[in-house]
Amino acid sequence: MHISINPWVWLGVFFTFSVLSFLYKDNPFYKLAEHVTVGVSIGYGMVIIWHNALIPRFYMPVFQEGKLILIIPAILGLMMILRIVPKYSWLSRYAICFSVGGGAGLAIPRSMQASVLRQLEATMLDLGFTTTQGINNIVIFVGVLAVLIYFFFSKEHKGVFGGIAKLGIWFLMVGFGATFGYTVMARLSLFIGRVLFVLQDFLGINLAG
Amino acid sequence: MLWKKQIPLAITFIMGLILGIQYFVPSSTSDWVFDEYRTWGIIIGLFGSVLAYISFYRAHGMRIKKKAPAWPFSVVAIAMSLAMAFVGFAFGREENTVFMNMYTYILVPIEGTMFSLLAFYISSAAYRAFRARSAQATALLVAAVIVMLGRVPLGEQISFWHKLWPALPTFTDIANWILNVPNMAAKRGMGLGIGLGIMMLSLKIVLGIERSYMGSGE
């Protein structure tokens, strides 16, 4: 065991335990870690936005390539900042409407393509009882139909319709359970990552043997 | 009214129409419209992030000024943001710089541990919520347990029946089947509903029926 002499590793371990201390109860160490995260994230964001967006997307095109049309979105952006001035906050609507309107226009065909047509296409596969894939395709087809019927509230869930809707609940329950299990394991692997950091990077324990 | 409401709504409508149509008209002009919209959006977003920074400093500044409870932590938040920005601009952001070390040894451990905390909380929440009160709740519980077991080597090792009769699936096989078949069906059913919902909401925004994004007031 060789305890690290790297002050950065010590800092990492200190913040790891500060956050874990929340499992006991809310305390100043957790609050410190929380506020440090917010501060560091803001500072990180500033630097990244400056280098990855402001310089290549605005400064260079406008001041070096002479693409003056980009001054229009800059003006819209400045109007957005006016949101903090109550008298002129309505001017921010121009920028918001530009972004939201365009985004909504893009979303209509793209959502139809990606979330509806592609998904329907992927559901309507070869159905059959002779192969495992064919049986799985039947389960998926029936499941999608049942879930859709469950979410159709314009007709009362009674009789055959109600029965299919109930089947939809079964599929949803299995889906939620699977998602829950998957999320728990993903979070546990993050926890294992933190434990490994303390054991290997800080305490210098070689787990590989 | 014209400048504060009708012109912004007209901008929404025109932008929605242009960006909606460009998808169906594959041409170099359509590509140009899409690329320009994206670039303009990034530039507007840049100024939007400035607004976020102003809000951050204003909110924490007010807490310090009013000596609100736990105000020293606001000093920490402001100091850390300025320190991070300073080292990033002054010393660069290459490997082994102070900026990257602050990212690797402060931000990554805190965020990683915060996300891992959720494992403890959702597990304890599940203990209380996942009682097998009905057959459907039992299905949820069983699916969760199988997927959890199927994701770790232990699941493979305790699948003793697989050793007796290799044709039978292990926990890993069952977990994969649950994730790829019934879970996929449930997700796809929900996804279809969400997709149709996004389309309807977008249409309402473009047509000016949905206006909540504009905020309240004049």
The ranges assigned to domains in chain B are 1-65
C-alpha A143/C-alpha B177 separation (Å) is: 14
C-alpha B22/C-alpha B36 separation (Å) is: 12
Name the DSSP letter for residue B67: T
CA nearest to A152 within chain B? B193
Q: Which of B192, B206, B217 sits opposite A119 (nearest CB)?
A: B192
Alpha-carbon torsion (A175, A180, A183, A189), positive or negative: negative
Check CB contact under 8 Å for A171 and B182.
yes
Domains of chain A, residue spans: 124-203
C-alpha A56/C-alpha A62 separation (Å) is: 10
* Chain A residues lying within 8 Å of B18, measured CB to CB: 102, 105
Check CB contact under 8 Å for A181 and B143.
yes
Q: Which of A108, A140, A193 sits opposite B181 (nearest CB)?
A: A140
A 10 A CB-CB count for A64 gives 8
Give the pLDDT confidence of B123-149 residue by residue, as tens digits: 888 777 777 778 988 999 999 999 999
Q: Which of B3, B77, B109 sits opposite A12 (nearest CB)?
A: B109
The number of C-alpha atoms within 13 Å of B130 and in the hemisphere containing its C-beta is 20
pLDDT at residue A2, rounded to an integer: 85
- Supply the ipTM of this predicted assembly: 0.85
Size of interface A-B (CB pairs under 8 A): 404
Check CB contact under 8 Å for A101 and B15.
yes
In this prediction, residues A56-72 reach a mean pLDDT of 94
The residues in A 174-203 lying below 8 A from B, measured between CB atoms, are 174-185, 187-188, 190-191, 193-194, 197
pLDDT at residue B218, rounded to an integer: 54
* Chain B residues lying within 8 Å of A173, measured CB to CB: 136-137, 139-140, 143
Q: B128: which 2 tokens?
A: 């209380």
How far apart are the CA of B164 and the nearest CA of chain A, in angstroms? 22
Give the pLDDT confidence of B26-82 residue by residue, as tens digits: 899 999 999 999 999 999 999 999 999 999 999 999 999 999 999 999 999 999 999
